[in-house]
Structure 1
Amino acid sequence: MERINDGYFISLLSMYKKNISPDREVLFDYDNNQHYTYQMLEDRANRLARFLIRQGLKKGDRVGFCSYNCVEFIDAFFASCKTGIIITSYNCHLKKDKLLDLMENERPKALLYDQEFEAVIEAARQRFPELVCINLGAHSVIPGAYSYPRIQAEESSETVDCKSLTLDDIQMLIHTGGTTGTPKAAKISYRSVTCNVLSQILTVGLHQNDIAYVFLPFFHTAAWTIFTLPLLLIGGKVIITKKFDPELSLKIIAEERPTLTVGVETALKRLAETPGFAKTDFSSYRIMISGAAPTARETMEHYWNKGVKLVSGYGMTELGTCNLLPPVNDMKLEQLIEKWDSVGQPVLYNSVRIVDGKGNDVAPGESGELIWQGELAFSGYWNNEGQTGEMIRDGWIYSGDIGRIDADGYYYIVGRKKNIFISGGENIFPGEIEEILCQHPAIDEACVIGVADVNWGEVGKALLVLKDRQELNAPELRAFLKGRLSSIKIPHYFEVIDEIPKNQVGKRDLEQIRMIYG
């Protein structure tokens, strides 16, 4: 794939300055009832940039961010573009030890944080005494911490501009939100950010009349790159809330009439089950995208019945957020429903292959690992050449996801390579079993894992969350699965549980699942 060179580089800071009025409203912080124009965001970013420069930070230094969704994250993003400073956003739900480990690896020189997380930040300050702490509130118990409102009140808003940025400079560190292990810091370049923005604008047909309602956390890439940043740069409008709240979401949808939302199965399911969902008018929506984990057809039907084009997309932090998406603008709702379990087709600026264990392309319809290359991709892991080398081989990023392509060029995700278990010498894909189990009217959610077995090596164990007041036993389940699955794929064990452990973005926490139930 031919790469975009610096001669065609579109500055993130200049994209929105052309043909957009500085007085145009771009952001609505719903929780605080605060509206922001382009000029207001520009001034805020300049003030933060000037403060960081006065503290001695320079291009390539890191600035950490630990908070829920807020305008200050947007300030920090554009301040990084103005200075060449790298922004690294931490998952505010991380345990203290994991957060400190990430900071040890990345060594931020400054840290912006919400007062709610002050105890964790105080521990960071003790380990890193030179850390410049910036409290997003007015007061702090940390000695020497700066007040962000005071920075905004006292610093000059005169324009700051870093003249030496190139496409391959790193703009952000985004921590992976995978299903196992400690998060890794993916290096995201200006090339990746710019091409992701352009890809989303062109693929989804984003325009200035679009309004995105964003409730996923900014510390994960989907909330930021799919709709928020593209709309900030073309003159659309973004509505943010601190956290996801289903009752509040219905109120926002009714009052603000958003046209776009990206969500995850757990949030979309909760929203659909909330009293008032049936009466809420969703007719303003052009598109809703679900990602991070498979979305049940039953959940999607709630939105289809309201005429909403809800589709599943595919992406991962290392690949650039949204790499596969149905051509929603060109398809009627009926056509999307026909391909409901597909994650669509490749978006712009990336290429994909499906390969076997030896790296050879598989035939259409056959399952294999999805591998990628292109302008959307990350630049490796921060201070981790070993794991970078494991993932990037011969110029291709090995995703670890197993998928297939149909005769129409639509892709389907079968499961994670690491989640496959081998029973009697045959590869078993849990996702296939889970999909069939969820067709049972009593089952709300299913998760299948492999457990050790003397005779078969491994056999399946199904963890089931039942719908209200439902009961099931193993003989009933085996009878239901017989004829729908080959005998070797039918789980040997079934266990009903209250909920399946998940991380903050709705992905299953397989490390915890295996530790508890394996």
Structure 2
Amino acid sequence: MEMFDLLAQRARVTPERPALEDLDSGERYSYRQLNERAARLAAAAREHWGLREGDRLAYLGHSRAEFFAMLFGCAKAGLILVPLNWRLAVPELEVLMDDCEPGALIFGGEFAEAAATLARRRGPLTAVALDGAGDGQRDYCADLAATEPDPGPHPEKDPDTPWYLLYTSGTTGRPKGVIQTFRMMLANHLNIGLAVNLTGDDVLLNVLPLFHTAGINLYSSALFLVGGCVLVARAFDPDQSLQVLENRATIFFGVPAVYQALLDHPSFDGERLKGVRSWGCGGAPLSLPVAQRYAEQGIRVRTGMGMTETGPTVFLLDEELVIDKAGSVGRPQLLTEVRIVDRDGRDLPDGEAGELLVRGPNITPGYWGRPDATAEAIRDGWLRSGDVARRDADGCYYIVDRWKDMYISGGENVYPAEVEKVLERHPAIAEVAVVGMPDGRWGEVGKAYCGLHPDVEAPDRDQLRAFCREYLAGYKVPRAFQWVDALPRNALGKVTKQELRDDAARR
């Protein structure tokens, strides 16, 4: 199998269909225009930025439609795109740059100072400005305009050729660049596109960051293959999002924090959102109370699960099961195999929790420059997810917790997610995260970090323990509770538990 130029093919099939729109700038691309723009980037990278096949091209900037011209332009030129997490500080960005060694850095105007610092410290690095070039910098728009693009299909490639790198958060160690390939993109398209029934008539509102797999692949890359339209927001804004969802979008994918913010908006009205035919959620579990409130508005939010290493789609819950199977991530999708195993690698029966293993064409070939980490994560073709999961008798899967989040209290395994689900039922608690903290008698005990609903007084800690004891064994009940204004989260809304573990260990 060889990989052909999918964007060029789509531009040939539906040249004038709308492909992209930038909701902030108003910039729009048809498939013909997007293909031409990608071809111009491929030419500019060769002619003006000194890049050759296999080189890395980094991007530091907020979400914008132009990103996808960079992504497909790199595919045409055989370059590897590296979207950088713009939330990171310059020293953290330097770690990623040292790891992938890009030959050029494209940056948005809001990151001009950080880009200049990175260019100074890294030696030979071509800095390319999207929004007006300074001294010693290339002008992105001028360089693209000065090229003679070849919009025809690029040379065929092996489908496992690295296309772009997505860096893990690195909260537990050195960040790893997860290699993304053409094969992974096609597998994800079949896994999620068929499940959601994407068509060329669909319009996606994309509010997720484009340095993350969800922003790129749920459902943007899959929708491009069928000729749909992607509306790119610079960042999630509830007012803008509700307006677009009411008037234009037909499909949507968000994280729980996004769904909560939409639900809390004073103008939220399910009746006005009937044009959205499919709602998806991932990144973290959607709580049952939130799922129920959406269902009461006639909206069934389908929860799924995946990883950067899996392209990402692995699981998706059927729409009719979102309440009856609340908490489940659904069943494995078409091109994915999964197993649940114990610590010795033996398969476990229904109902028992163990580590989730994943195999299929959607799995990354590994981590950039890290054969050690690759060998540790992928064994005999199976990716070790690091997730604790169980399967019920109907074949639906539940993510119980992360292996690293589990702690042992008095010799018993405690999965914080189980405790968190109980505490979320308490009427005073808006959000909660539980971690293990050292204890001289029990080894570890639980500590709960709780955010309260507005205008609600903090409940008595002994009352909270009694509340938990109604649903949990005594060793699972948190020993300590701490009130917080907000839980620390990453760009996709996941709680960064390592920060909380560090805090609990100090106190």
The two structures have a TM-score, normalised by structure 1, of 0.94
Distance 2:245 2:156 in 1: 42
Distance 2:450 2:404 in 1: 21
Tell me whether 372-381 or 226-235 shows the greater mean CA deviation: 226-235
Q: Which residue of 2 aligns with 1:259?
A: 250
Q: Which residue of 1 aligns with 2:74?
A: 80
Q: Which residue of 1 aligns with 2:289?
A: 298
Q: Which residue of 1 aligns with 2:462?
A: 475
Q: Which residue of 2 aligns with 1:316?
A: 307
Alignment of 1:24-63 (within 5 A): 24-54=17-47, 55-63=49-57
Distance 2:140 2:51 in 1: 17
Q: Which residue of 2 aligns with 1:453?
A: 439
Shift in Å at residue 482 of structure 1? 1.8
Q: Which residue of 1 aligns with 2:391?
A: 405
Given candidates 276, 279, 298, the residue that maps to 1:288 is: 279
Q: Which residue of 1 aligns with 2:109?
A: 115
Shift in Å at residue 279 of structure 1? 7.1
Distance 1:347 1:41 in 2: 30
Shift in Å at residue 387 of structure 1? 1.5
Query: Which digits, 9 at most, give the CA deviation of each residue in 1:159-185, with x for residues without a partner?
Result: 264425111211111112476444310
Structure 2 unaligned residues grouped into runs of 5+: none
Shift in Å at residue 273 of structure 1? 0.6
Asked if structure 1 preserves the Cα contact closer than 8 Å seen for 2:206 and 2:233, the reply is: yes
Q: Does 1:340 align with 2:352?
A: no
Task: Tell me the secondary structure at the aligned position of residue 13 of structure 2.
Answer: coil
Tell me which amino acid in the other structure corresponds to 2:340: I
Task: Tell me the secondary structure at the aligned position of residue 323 of structure 2.
Answer: helix
Asked if structure 2 preserves the Cα contact closer than 8 Å seen for 1:250 and 1:280, the reply is: no
Query: Which digits, 9 at most, give the CA deviation of each residue in 1:324-351, with x for residues without a partner?
Result: 00234xxx3xx32111211011112221
Query: Which digits, 9 at most, give the CA deviation of each residue in 1:292-339, with x for residues without a partner?
Result: 1121122223322222220211001012211100234xxx3xx32111
Tell me which amino acid in the other structure corresponds to 1:19: V
Instruction: Calculate the aligned-residue CA RMSD, in Å.
Output: 1.7
Given candidates 177, 187, 192, the residue that maps to 2:184 is: 192
Distance 1:251 1:385 in 2: 47
Q: Does 1:95 align with 2:89?
A: yes
Tell me which amino acid in the other structure corresponds to 1:498: D
Q: Does 1:237 align with 2:224?
A: no
Tell me which amino acid in the other structure corresponds to 1:305: E
Alignment of 1:362-511 (within 5 A): 362-470=348-456, 471-511=458-498
Q: Which residue of 1 aligns with 2:220?
A: 228
Task: Tell me the secondary structure at the aligned position of residue 384 of structure 2.
Answer: strand
Task: Tell me the secondary structure at the aligned position of residue 516 of structure 1.
Answer: helix
Task: Tell me the secondary structure at the aligned position of residue 361 of structure 1.
Answer: coil
Q: Across the two proteins, how many residue pairs are aligned to each other?
A: 503
Shift in Å at residue 15 of structure 1? 4.6
Sort the Cα spacing of 1:279 and 1:494 in 2 relative to 1 into closer, same or farther, 3 A: same
Sort the Cα spacing of 1:159 and 1:191 in 2 relative to 1 into closer, same or farther, 3 A: same
Shift in Å at residue 489 of structure 1? 0.8
Distance 1:10 1:311 in 2: 32
Q: Which residue of 2 aligns with 1:16?
A: 10
Tell me whether 185-194 or 270-279 shows the greater mean CA deviation: 270-279
Asked if structure 2 preserves the Cα contact closer than 8 Å seen for 1:10 and 1:194, the reply is: no
Shift in Å at residue 81 of structure 1? 1.4
Distance 1:261 1:496 in 2: 33
Shift in Å at residue 154 of structure 1? 2.3
Task: Tell me the secondary structure at the aligned position of residue 306 of structure 2.
Answer: coil
Asked if structure 2 preserves the Cα contact closer than 8 Å seen for 1:135 and 1:148, the reply is: yes
The two structures have a TM-score, normalised by structure 2, of 0.96
Sort the Cα spacing of 1:311 and 1:186 in 2 relative to 1 into closer, same or farther, 3 A: same
Tell me which amino acid in the other structure corresponds to 2:22: D
